[in-house]
Every structure is written in structure tokens, then in C-alpha cells.
Amino acid sequence: MLIFCTPAIMEAAIISVGNNNDYWQPHPSVMERLIAAGIHIYQTERGWLKDEFLDSVHIAGANIIIESDGVDYKIEY
């Protein structure tokens, strides 16, 4: 018996990052790919996010809460 999985379609990216972290995250190339793909981006803090990306990213400044019933989800920040 063959079982095929449907590929997941990414709708949102949650990035947990601290301000002025030593790793220079999130990396600009990652942000460019997420934005180009139309992904909703949520970050706990600004981190090293470049000014050019600010209009495309939701910055919580604290915790990000994800609720799901197994089918649908809700993100609060």
C-alpha cells in the first residue's frame, strides 16, 4: 500500500529572536525569501532586522501565541 503525503504550504513564519543577538539573525537572505513567497512573518523582537523589511514583518515585542483546533490557526502578538 502506498501512502502519499500532501506537501505543506507555508503560510506563516515565527521567528524567535532577541534584540542585538550575537548571531545577526534573522539573516537578510532568509527574510527576502520569506517575503518573496508571500509568507506572513512574526518575530518576538526586532533582532537585526533591516529597516527595509519592517513593513513586511509583525514584531511582537514579547510572546507570540499560536492557537489551533487542528484545522485552522490563529496567531496573536
Per residue in 23-72, pLDDT (tens digit) is 888 889 999 999 999 999 999 999 888 899 999 999 999 999 999 999 99
Tell me if 17 is assigned to some domain.
yes
- Return the pLDDT at 37: 94
For residue 18, pLDDT over 80 is answered with yes
Write out the residue range of the structural domain in which residue 20 sits. 12-76
Q: Is residue 47 part of a domain?
A: yes
CA pair distance 46, 15, nearest whole angstrom? 10
For the whole model, what pTM was predicted?
A: 0.82
Residue 6 resides in a domain: no
pLDDT at 48: 85
Q: Is residue 44 part of a domain?
A: yes
In a domain, 29, yes or no: yes
Asked whether residue 35 is assigned to any structural domain, the reply reads: yes
The domain total for the chain is 1
Whether residue 7 is contained in a domain is answered as no
Predicted pLDDT at 1: 65
CB 73 within 8 A of CB 50: no
Question: Looking at the domain assignment, is residue 3 inside a domain?
Answer: no
